[in-house]
A and B are shown apart, each in its own frame.
Chain A
């Protein structure tokens, strides 16, 4: 299994440009999440999904869109990039059993710089 994969690994954008960060998992996990990591701020939840066709906002959703058309894929779209979106982005997937949450598996991350 490849686990959770993310592309690209690095990206530089100009202010106002748009782009999509790709995330895929091959573990058939129902839950998927996007986090951003900034120095001293920990991991902050942007958007998450509890299954195909179902998404919800996290702690810092402004400026980002998501969709989940399949169990495997959960792309994150930056609509109009701003320097404040310079960060490392992690995608994660997880499962539950009997309602109990289990380990979140993280992708390798995408380092995004907006100039």
Chain B
């Protein structure tokens, strides 16, 4: 089955700086890559996703890039704010199959 890995496990950034989280996946057939944010004690919520027919997608301060050849995708958060502090999970899935394989998560800490 699909194996998704995330690095680094914890990321501390100064407020206003950028944060980048990278994920790698093992199944070259995977074609849907969402990112979820989970605040302490809350449920995971989708923040952005990308499909394999595009290389980059942006939504305000958040962007995701996909490199299908290298089988990795990254989350970019610009102008970080304290409310960006959370655990971020990447995941991968196949079309025709809503079964997601999640990475282990990255703790992002934004230092005011």
Contact = CB atoms under 8 A, between A and B. Distances in A.
A42 B98 contact: no
B16 interface: no
Contacts, number: 60
B76 to A, nearest CB: 20
Interface residues of B, number: 24
A41 B104 contact: yes
A104 B100 contact: yes
Contacts of A45: 99-101
A102 B103 CA distance: 18
Nearest to A4: B43
Contacts of B34: 103-104
Nearest to A40: B104
Interface stretch (B44-52, B56-64, B78-86): B44-52
A42 to B, nearest CB: 4
B89 interface: yes
Question: Interface extent on A, as a size class?
Answer: 20 to 34
B43 A106 contact: yes
A108 B102 contact: no
Interface in B26-68: 32, 34, 43-46, 49, 51
Contacts of B45: 106
Closest 3 CB pairs of A and B: A42-B104, A31-B98, A106-B43
